[in-house]
Amino acid sequence: MVSATSSVPPKRAWPQAVFVAALGLGIGMLPVPSSAGDGRTQRDDLDAGDLARVEAVTAPTEDFTRAEPFEKMPAGAGTSTKLVNRDAFSQPLANAGFAGERDFKIGNGFFKKIWVPAPSSTKGSDGLGPLFNARSCQGCHLKDGRGHPPEGPDDGAVSMFLRLSVPPRTDEERAALADKRLLRIPEPTYGGQLQDLAVTGLAGEGRMRIAYEEIPVELNGGETASLRRPTYSVSDLGFGPMHPDVMLSPRVAPQMIGLGLAEQIPAADILTLADPDDADGNGISGRASMVRDGDGGGLVLGRFGWKASTPSIEAQSADAFAGDIGISTPRVPNSHGDCTARQVDCLALPTGVQARLGETEAPDPVLPLVTFYSRNLAVPARRDVDDPTVLAGKKLFYETGCIACHRPKFVTRRDAPEAAHRFQLVWPYSDFLLHDMGEGLADGRPVGDASGREWRTAPLWGIGLTETVSGHTYFLHDGRARNLVEAILWHGGEAATQRDAFVAMEPDARAALIRFLESL
């Protein structure tokens, strides 16, 4: 394997050129532009020769007799080769360097930080809430892995919550949505999400309730599966009734590995995969989610979140601080979190803002450090890439057409602000586009460009280690799928053909495809 500190080799040795970082470049706290792309479909960071080589190496393979070069290293030179255990998703990129690992560890400290209500004697930690879903970032992203839905009706939603919104009610709201100054209209009393926890003296907003219906599914070869269809509601409302037209949509915290590399996949390479009118007639019509970059920014590509409604890791982190924990940052300076004008008691409570530290409860460099940590979590090395069953499952995954959405590989920008992210061959297995997933998965709640039936293609890297890291195998945006088989069977809409092909496979073929996914 090429060293992570090797210089970029000449073009004739090209596959290594997309695998290594530039020689001797440190990381430190370099800024990453918040813009994620302006809609162009031609890369501007490569010359014609390198562009042709990138196109060649990212083309889907047709050889399933052996693993592809560097396939074992899904994060390029940043791939973690540490021991596979519960900490497998919590390692820094292997090519981060000394300064990068230092900042990663400091950011991890803030990521794990337990916030407390204000006022408090721990001045550097107060400002929690007043309404919140968790006391720390890690409270939802346990071990940086996938969140856990409630097991029963009385379980707390530790790493799952409900998004809330209503249809536009005024011409001004409709105009704001059309101009994308708003992605959604918050529920008038309860805001953008349901916070089930509150500081002492204030009631939580309510409790999420889930009822499951089991749906049997027959598979070829005499096998059967059972899908659980969830129905969501809210009880114990603390601030009166909700709007009669409120739309509820559950969210499980996603795993966090590889985020910085995904951020540095050129927008042009994602946009060129979009086919909103299904011009090629393959039944797949991925659409880009274009969002505003900040309050007054232009339209850029959204690639983060279950509906690709966020353009950058910094924006995602700031929104989570405000909405999930109730902590203000310079990017989202809402020191009362998601309290609305109708929640008078909430707005009357003290905040953790301290003038000597700044105008927010988490002044810089808290957000940059948490963003840096989130941006530099490594993807673990693949396992069993040369196993014959895994290779057979990979062939089925490709031939069935799953890669039409779960695009195997990209090459990150040569000019990425952080050296660890530059010109890396990465394997996220996602196109980061919106797809109609059918009525079965529909939440009926539009967000920006995403309709109530559309979801961003979830990256698959690391999915085989979910149980090792998170202690469960619950998948999809609300954790309804209890294993990978159920997750595939929930696919509909544009993915109905692939789902039906999976159902029609012989049992051994289905098992091989699952083994391939477990190797990711």
Phi, psi (degrees; rounded to nearest 5) at 225: -140, 165
Both structure tokens of 264: 């540095």
State the DSSP code for 10.
P
Q: How far apart are alpha carbons 470 and 473 in whole angstroms?
A: 8
What pLDDT is recorded for position 105? Answer: 98
Give the residue carrying structure tokens 């586009």.
Answer: 433
Which residue type, as a one-letter code, is found at position 224?
A: T
- Can you give the three-state secondary structure of 125-180, one letter per residue? CECCCCEECCCCCCCCCHHHCCCCCCCCCCCCCCCEEEEEEECCCCHHHHHHHHCC
The answer to whether 382 touches 515, Cβ cutoff 8 Å, is no
What pLDDT is recorded for position 122? Answer: 84
| Sequential pLDDT tens for the chain (520 residues) | 333 332 233 333 333 333 332 222 222 333 333 334 555 668 999 999 999 999 999 999 999 999 999 999 999 999 999 999 999 999 999 999 999 999 999 999 999 999 999 998 888 899 999 999 999 999 999 999 998 887 766 665 568 999 999 999 999 999 999 988 889 999 999 999 999 999 999 999 999 999 999 999 999 999 999 999 999 999 999 999 999 999 999 999 999 999 999 999 999 999 999 999 999 999 999 999 999 987 667 899 999 999 999 999 999 999 999 999 999 999 999 999 999 999 999 999 999 999 888 999 999 999 999 999 999 999 999 999 999 999 999 999 999 999 999 999 999 999 999 999 999 999 999 999 999 999 999 999 999 999 999 999 999 999 999 999 999 999 999 999 999 999 999 999 999 999 999 999 999 999 999 999 999 9
What pLDDT is recorded for position 7? Answer: 27
Query: What is the domain partition of the chain in residue ranges?
Result: 11-27+45-99+378-519, 104-255+304-374
Cβ burial, residue 243 (10 Å; 0-12/13-18/19+) = middle
The answer to whether 286 touches 6, Cβ cutoff 8 Å, is no
What pLDDT is recorded for position 18? Answer: 32
Q: How far apart are alpha carbons 432 and 262 in whole angstroms?
A: 9
What pLDDT is recorded for position 180? Answer: 87
What pLDDT is recorded for position 155? Answer: 63
Both structure tokens of 261: 């590399």
Q: Cβ–Cβ contacts within 10 Å for residue 141, how many?
A: 25
Helix (H, G, I), strand (E, B) or coil at 517: helix
DSSP conformation letters of 317-329: HHHHIIIII----
> Angle CA(141)–CA(34)–CA(337) in degrees, nearest 5?
50
Cβ burial, residue 65 (10 Å; 0-12/13-18/19+) = exposed
Q: How far apart are alpha carbons 262 and 407 in whole angstroms?
A: 12
The answer to whether 260 touches 316, Cβ cutoff 8 Å, is no
According to DSSP, the residues that pair with 216 across neighbouring strands are 226
Q: What is the CA radius of gyration of the chain?
A: 23
What pLDDT is recorded for position 8? Answer: 31
Does an H or E element contain 485, and which? Answer: helix 484-489
Both structure tokens of 208: 């999420």
Q: How far apart are alpha carbons 261 and 77 in whole angstroms?
A: 11
Give the pTM: 0.91
Q: How far apart are alpha carbons 343 and 348 in whole angstroms?
A: 9
- Burial pattern 435-451, b for ≥16 Cβ within 10 A else e, equals bbbbebbbbebbbbbbb
The answer to whether 74 touches 258, Cβ cutoff 8 Å, is yes
Both structure tokens of 72: 């074992």
Q: Is the dihedral angle over the CA atoms 439, 442, 443, 447 positive or is it negative?
A: negative
Does an H or E element contain 208, and which? Answer: strand 207-218
According to DSSP, the residues that pair with 232 across neighbouring strands are 210
Q: How far apart are alpha carbons 361 and 355 in whole angstroms?
A: 10
The answer to whether 34 touches 304, Cβ cutoff 8 Å, is no
Ramachandran class of 363: left when φ > 0, alpha when ψ lies in -120 to 50, beta otherwise: beta
Strands 410-411 and 299-302: unpaired
Phi, psi (degrees; rounded to nearest 5) at 208: -80, 135
Q: How far apart are alpha carbons 318 and 395 in whole angstroms?
A: 40
Phi, psi (degrees; rounded to nearest 5) at 197: -120, 155
- Burial pattern 2-25, b for ≥16 Cβ within 10 A else e, equals bebeeebeeeeebebbbbbbeeee
